[in-house]
């Protein structure tokens, strides 16, 4: 398919996904109502449908990954401020690349080996379905990324950071309520993983965030930004503050284009344990 054809086909997939899953559709709309209480019901339904369209388009584009090479990937996705990865890596520092289930997060990771010589390890969550997991693994790794399963990646992450490599992961899903922290996310307490901030401060790795923002023609722009860490130390307070900063940066991006985030996820499913504290 052409790029425009994948957009059309993806929207059809999105329509099917919304129509077939009432429970997820209800979660999507309720998440939007809670996050944007001042918006109308018509707006909520329109953004919910557009969020499903984004899911469908992402699925359609994943299947086209084998078509992309270093010679043509730049026509599809453009990175800005790439020096934030390359200059830090040249200093021998590992780089932590954070993103979210936003726009086409898969093409964001897939494109990295084509646009930078810095080795990248991508943290992935294994799928329950064996066939789906194998297919995604082959597609995701087709550009040369090293794929690390989320539940067995700690040693490889540390090794990569010490060698000045980049580690890419998504930081927007619900964390563990007993071991992580609760921070305000769209004015509601949300469990957020501490691990990215803890790794960054322990190993002196800069945190660079980027999101694949879709343009009307189906191309993407990724504006890389470094989250400030120079004033933070490797302490519980420093880890908390860095976690707060990258969570706030994510919320700011979602507010710009809310239809590009995966609202179908139960992001606020965990309640704060009685001993937990909400950190403003």
Does 69 map to a domain?
A: no
| Co-location of 168 and 42 in the same domain | no
> pLDDT at residue 175 above 80?
yes
Phi, psi of 277 (to 5 degrees): -130, 135
Mean pLDDT within 160-167 = 88
Instruction: Name the 3-class secondary structure at 228.
Output: coil
Which among 132, 83, 143, 137 is positioned nearest to 108, based on CA atoms? 143
What is the per-residue pLDDT across 48-82, written as a single tens digit (0 to 9) for each?
A: 999 999 999 999 999 888 888 888 888 899 999 99
| Co-location of 166 and 220 in the same domain | yes
| Co-location of 59 and 81 in the same domain | no
% of the chain exceeding 70 in pLDDT: 98
| Co-location of 47 and 86 in the same domain | no
| Co-location of 194 and 85 in the same domain | yes
Average pLDDT of the chain, as a whole number: 91
Are 191 and 182 in contact by the 8 Å Cβ rule? The answer is yes
| Co-location of 9 and 127 in the same domain | no
Which among 262, 256, 259 is positioned nearest to 174, based on CA atoms? 262
Give pLDDT, residue 192.
95
Residues written for the chain: 280
Does 279 map to a domain?
A: no
> Which range has the worst mean pLDDT, 84-93, 110-119, 143-152, 158-167?
143-152
d(C-alpha 144, C-alpha 140), whole Å: 8
| Co-location of 36 and 86 in the same domain | no
Does 268 map to a domain?
A: no
Does 266 map to a domain?
A: no
Q: Is the pTM of this model over 0.85?
A: yes
Does 118 map to a domain?
A: yes
Containing domain of residue 132, as a range? 74-258
| Co-location of 173 and 94 in the same domain | yes
Give pLDDT, residue 275.
63
Give pLDDT, residue 160.
85
What is the per-residue pLDDT across 77-135, written as a single tens digit (0 to 9) for each?
A: 999 999 999 888 888 889 999 999 999 999 999 999 999 889 898 988 777 777 777 87
d(C-alpha 53, C-alpha 47), whole Å: 10
Mean pLDDT within 16-23 = 91
> Which range has the worst mean pLDDT, 17-21, 142-146, 237-241?
142-146
> pLDDT at residue 9 above 70?
yes
Give pLDDT, residue 152.
65
Give pLDDT, residue 146.
86
d(C-alpha 30, C-alpha 268), whole Å: 11
Does 190 map to a domain?
A: yes
Give pLDDT, residue 33.
97
| Co-location of 78 and 55 in the same domain | no
Give the total number of structural domains in the chain: 2
| Co-location of 78 and 58 in the same domain | no
| Co-location of 120 and 237 in the same domain | yes
Give pLDDT, residue 147.
87
d(C-alpha 251, C-alpha 267), whole Å: 13
Does 24 map to a domain?
A: yes
Does 263 map to a domain?
A: no
| Co-location of 96 and 121 in the same domain | yes
Give pLDDT, residue 263.
97
Token pair listed for 42:
């018509």
Indicate the pLDDT class of residue 31, thresholds 50, 70 and 90. very high
């Amino acid at each position: 398919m052409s790029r425009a054809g994948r957009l059309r086909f993806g929207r059809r997939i999105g329509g099917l996904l919304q129509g077939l899953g009432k429970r997820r559709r209800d979660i999507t709309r309720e998440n939007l109502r809670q996050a944007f209480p001042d918006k109308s019901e018509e707006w909520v339904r329109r953004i919910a449908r557009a969020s499903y369209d984004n899911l469908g388009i992402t699925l359609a584009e994943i299947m086209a990954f084998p078509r992309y090479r270093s010679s043509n990937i730049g026509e599809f996705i453009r990175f800005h401020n790439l020096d934030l990865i390359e200059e830090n890596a040249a200093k021998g520092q590992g780089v932590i690349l954070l993103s979210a289930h936003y726009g086409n997060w898969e093409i964001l990771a897939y494109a990295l080996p084509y646009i930078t010589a810095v080795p990248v390890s991508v943290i992935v969550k294994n799928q329950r379905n064996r066939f789906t997991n194998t297919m995604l693994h082959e597609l995701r790794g087709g550009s040369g990324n090293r794929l690390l399963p989320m539940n067995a990646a700690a040693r490889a992450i540390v090794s990569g950071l010490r060698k000045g490599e980049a580690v890419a992961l998504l930081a927007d899903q619900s964390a563990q309520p007993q071991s992580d922290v609760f921070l305000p996310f769209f004015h509601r307490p949300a469990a957020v993983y501490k691990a990215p901030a803890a790794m960054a401060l322990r190993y002196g790795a800069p945190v660079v965030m980027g999101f694949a923002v879709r343009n009307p023609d189906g191309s993407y722009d990724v504006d890389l930004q470094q989250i400030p860490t120079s004033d933070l130390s490797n302490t519980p307070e420093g880890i908390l503050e860095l976690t707060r900063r990258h969570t706030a940066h994510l919320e700011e991006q979602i507010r710009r284009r809310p239809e590009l985030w995966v609202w179908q996820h139960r992001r606020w499913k965990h309640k704060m344990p009685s001993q937990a504290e909400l950190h403003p």
